[in-house]
Structure 1
C-alpha cells in the first residue's frame, strides 16, 4: 500500500476543506461587514446633531471604501431594499392631502414619497470629501447595473441629486496651460477620451503654443478634479480633418491670422457623473471666454467624432427594406467590406457620394426611441445650441475612427446670436438645425420621413 499517496490525498482533502470553510467565513464576514455598514446608515438617518452626523458620515464612507466587490453589492442590495420609500408614510400623507388639500399637505406628501436613500446621500455628503466619495460610489454601482435591474432605483436617486449638486451655476471654468499644477495636467492626459494624449510632449503641443487652448470645468466640492475639458485649436479656416491639428510638426498660426476657434476634443472626466446634465450652454461659456481673449475670432466650430455611424450603416445595409439607403446605395457600399478600402484612392472616391448621403441622413433624420438623434455627440451640441454645419469625409483615418464612423467627422457651428434659438428648437421639437449644405445631401424624396434607430 502506498501510504505516501493516501497521505497526500488526505492532505489535499483537508486543505480543500479548510479553503471551503475559509471561503464560507469570508462570505459570512462580507455579509457582516455590509450589515454593520447598513446599521451605521440607519444611525445616521435617525441622528439629529450635525457634528456627530459629520463624524458618522466620515466613518461610513471610510468603511465603504474598504469593501470589496461582494460586500459592496450586498450594501447596494440593502440600499435598494431598506432605504426606499416608506409605504405607510406615503399612505398617511396621501390621506392627509385628500382630507385637506393644501400647500402644506402637498409638501408633506412630496417629502414622504422621497426614498430614504436620498436623505442618506445628502447626509453622507456632509463628510469631508463626501461628494467625491459618492461619485465614486455611483461609478461602482454602474459596474453592476447591466445585470441588476433591482438596483436601478439607487442609480436614479444618484442622478436626481447629482443633477442639482452639479448645476452649471456651481461650475468654474479655468484655463489650462503649461503652468497648471502637474496633478491636474496628469488628469488631462488620463481623461482624454477623444484623441489620446500619448505623453507629456504631446500634451504640451496641445496647450502651450499660442494657437492652442485648453479649458476645464471644475466643481468646488471636487478639488483638482476636472469634470469636462475642451481642447481648442485657433486656425485660419474651418478644418476638414483632424490630421493637421494633431500633427507633431506644423506651422504655428500667427495671432493676427487667427479667425476660427475649433473645439476638437471635449472629454467628460468623471464616469460616476455619466448621464448627469451639467446644463446647456457649456460651450457658449467657452466661446465667450475665447472671444474675450482673442477678439478677432469670428467663427466657432467643433471638429467632432461620430460615435455610432458605422453600426447604424451596417444595420441599414443589412435591412431588407431601408428608408435611408436605395438598392444602388447598398450595391455601392459593398466596397466597405474590402479591408483598407480608404487607402485605395479609386475606391474611396467612388464611395464618397453614397457615404456622404448616408451620413447626412444619419445626422438629420435617424432618431432613437425618444425622438432624439442617434448620435450622442450630436445630442450634446444640438442641446447646447449649435448648428450642424458640415460633414467631413475621411477626416480621421485612425483605427478607432474608421471602426466607429468610417472616418467621418462633423463641424458644429456656434453662432452666439443663434445659440438660444437653436437650443429652444432642439429642446421643444428635437429639431436638428442644419446648414443648407447638409440638408441638400439628404435625399429630397426622403427628407420628411424619420427613421427609428
Structure 2
C-alpha cells in the first residue's frame, strides 16, 4: 500500500488533534448512535469503524457461549490495542463498557415483578436466584474475562487507576469504576492473599519494588533498604496469586526496647542493631499501599493483625505494638482552621505566644505556623513548643469530618482499633516532615485487648486518646 503524501498526513493530524485529549461529555453522541454511524463527528476520538471492531471483541469476550479461554483471546486483543491508545481513545473504550454492557433493565424489571408476586417460599427462593443472575451484567462477565489471561489483573488495576485520576465531576464512568471496585473487593479478599516476609535474600526484582513503592520515607539507596530488612527489622507484604511479584501493601517494622520517638534513628544506616533478646516493642514505622487502582479495597487492618501474630510467634516477649506515624494533614489544617484552636486560648496564653513571636496579641495561627521552621531550637518548656503540641493534640483528637478523622493516617490506624498514644516533638526533621507537620510525629498504640473498644468509641464520634494527649488538648 502506497504511503499517503506528507501534506495529506499533516492535514489528517490537524483534523485529529482534538482527539488526542479526553472528550468532554457534552460533545459526544451516545455510543449506540456512534456505532451505527459512518463518520466520526467533531472531537470524537475513535471512528465508528474502529468502535465496531472493538465492540466485536468486547462482545466476544463477554459472551456466555464462549469458553473462558476463547473469550480471553478477545480480551487480550483489546489489551493489546489499549497499550498504544491515547487517553481520549481509552475514554471511548470505557464508554463502550459503560453504555453497551450494562444490566438488562427489562429482565431486572420482570424478575422484580416475579419476586413481588411470589406466593410461597419456593417461588420466593426461585425469584431470588433469578434476580441474582440478571444482576450479573455483561460488563461483569467482560471484566471477569479480562482477569483470565496473563497480565489481565494488572491491566484492570491500571485501568481503574486511570479512571480515578479523572475529575470527580465527570460522571460518565461511575458504573465502570463501581463494578471494578466491587470485583476487586472479592478478588483481593484477605482470604486469597499471601503474607510474605521480605528479606535481603528476596529476589532483587522484588526488593526494587519496595524502593519504587515506599510512600512514607523514601528509600535512598540499597544500603538504606538493607538497613530496613536487617536482622532487627521485619518487612511483610500481602501478595495475590495473579500478581505474585507485586506487593499490594507492605509494612516495615523495627524491633526495639521502647516506643520510638523519632524516625532518624530508625533510618540510620550506621546505627547499632537492636538486641533482640531485649526487644519488647514492635514499631510499625512505614505502611505503603502500592496499587492506586485498588483504592477502596481495605486490607491494611488484616495485614497488621497477621503481622502481629507472626511477630508474636517469633518473639513471644513482645508486649507493645505501636506505630511511628507522620501527621500529613496537620500543617494545612492549621493554616485553614487553626484559629478554632487559638480562639480557645486564654488572654495570658495569647500574650505569652505573641511575646515569643515578637508580634501583637491576639496571635494568628499563621504566625505560629510560620515560626515552626525553628522547632529544633525550642526547648521542652518553650511556650511556642507547648502551643504547637496543643494544636496537634486538638487536630488528632477533634479533627473529624462526618464521624471520620480528618488526617488520612489517623483514619487508617484509628479505624483499625488503635489509639493516639503520644505526640513526638522534632521527630521528623526532613523537608517533607517539616512541610507536612512541622516535624511532629505520632505514636498510635495497638492495645490488643482494647481494639474493639477503641473502634466502638470512634464509631460514636470520640477519638480514643491517651491521658497524655488529652492533657495537651485541654491545657498547656
Same structural fold, with TM-score higher than 0.5 when normalized by the shorter chain = yes
2:378–2:384 CA contact under 8 A, matched in 1:
no
Once the two structures are superposed, what CA deviation does each residue of 1:18-40 show, in whole Å capped at 9, x if it has no partner? 42323446856844445422331
Partner Cα separation in structure 2 for residue 254 and residue 160 of structure 1:
45
Q: Does 323-332 or 270-279 show the bigger shift?
A: 323-332
Once the two structures are superposed, what CA deviation does each residue of 1:385-430 show, in whole Å capped at 9, x if it has no partner? 222211112211211122211222111112222234434544x435
Once the two structures are superposed, what CA deviation does each residue of 1:9-55 show, in whole Å capped at 9, x if it has no partner? xxxxx977742323446856844445422331122223423232232
SS of 1:137's equivalent in the other structure is helix
Partner Cα separation in structure 2 for residue 348 and residue 339 of structure 1:
15
Partner Cα separation in structure 1 for residue 300 and residue 268 of structure 2:
33
Once the two structures are superposed, what CA deviation does each residue of 1:287-308 show, in whole Å capped at 9, x if it has no partner? 1111211222211110011121
- Residue 450 of structure 1: aligned partner: none
1:56 aligns with 2:78: no
Residues 437-452 of structure 1 aligned to structure 2 (within 5 Å): 437-443=468-474
2:394 aligned to which of 355, 361, 370: 361
1:316–1:324 CA contact under 8 A, matched in 2:
no
1:230–1:263 CA contact under 8 A, matched in 2:
yes
- Residue 114 of structure 2: aligned partner: 96
2:235 aligned to which of 180, 195, 214: 214
1:352 aligns with 2:385: yes
SS of 2:464's equivalent in the other structure is coil
- Residue 373 of structure 2: aligned partner: 340
CA 1:201–1:391 in structure 2 vs 1: closer, same or farther (change >3 Å)?
Answer: same
What is the deviation of 1:226? 0.2
Partner Cα separation in structure 1 for residue 370 and residue 185 of structure 2:
43
- Residue 430 of structure 2: aligned partner: 398
- Residue 194 of structure 1: aligned partner: 216
2:63–2:71 CA contact under 8 A, matched in 1:
no
1:324–1:361 CA contact under 8 A, matched in 2:
no
1:163–1:278 CA contact under 8 A, matched in 2:
no
What is the deviation of 1:374? 0.7
Partner Cα separation in structure 1 for residue 213 and residue 345 of structure 2:
37
2:138 aligned to which of 88, 112, 116: 116
2:61 aligned to which of 40, 44, 56: 44
- Residue 249 of structure 2: aligned partner: 228
Partner Cα separation in structure 2 for residue 423 and residue 290 of structure 1:
23
Partner Cα separation in structure 2 for residue 425 and residue 175 of structure 1:
33
What is the deviation of 1:124? 1.8
Partner Cα separation in structure 2 for residue 303 and residue 33 of structure 1:
53
Q: Does 26-35 or 125-134 show the bigger shift?
A: 26-35
CA 1:22–1:161 in structure 2 vs 1: closer, same or farther (change >3 Å)?
Answer: same
TM-score normalised per structure 2:
0.82
Partner Cα separation in structure 1 for residue 388 and residue 136 of structure 2:
50
- Residue 307 of structure 2: aligned partner: 286
1:215–1:286 CA contact under 8 A, matched in 2:
yes
Partner Cα separation in structure 1 for residue 307 and residue 224 of structure 2:
23
Partner Cα separation in structure 2 for residue 348 and residue 176 of structure 1:
43
SS of 2:173's equivalent in the other structure is helix
Partner Cα separation in structure 1 for residue 280 and residue 463 of structure 2:
26
2:259 aligned to which of 228, 238, 256: 238
- Residue 406 of structure 2: aligned partner: 374
CA 1:35–1:407 in structure 2 vs 1: closer, same or farther (change >3 Å)?
Answer: farther
Choose between structure 1 and 2: higher helix proportion.
1
- Residue 141 of structure 1: aligned partner: 163
- Residue 6 of structure 1: aligned partner: none
CA 1:301–1:347 in structure 2 vs 1: closer, same or farther (change >3 Å)?
Answer: closer
1:418 aligns with 2:409: no
What is the deviation of 1:116? 3.4
What is the deviation of 1:286? 0.7
CA 1:34–1:425 in structure 2 vs 1: closer, same or farther (change >3 Å)?
Answer: farther
2:420–2:443 CA contact under 8 A, matched in 1:
yes
Once the two structures are superposed, what CA deviation does each residue of 1:57-77 show, in whole Å capped at 9, x if it has no partner? 333333333322221111112
1:19 aligns with 2:51: no
Q: Which 5+ residue runs of structure 1 have no aligned equivalent?
A: 1-13, 445-453
Partner Cα separation in structure 2 for residue 322 and residue 219 of structure 1:
48
Once the two structures are superposed, what CA deviation does each residue of 1:220-267 show, in whole Å capped at 9, x if it has no partner? 111200011111111111111111111232122122221211110000
1:313 aligns with 2:313: no
1:97–1:106 CA contact under 8 A, matched in 2:
yes
1:335–1:347 CA contact under 8 A, matched in 2:
no
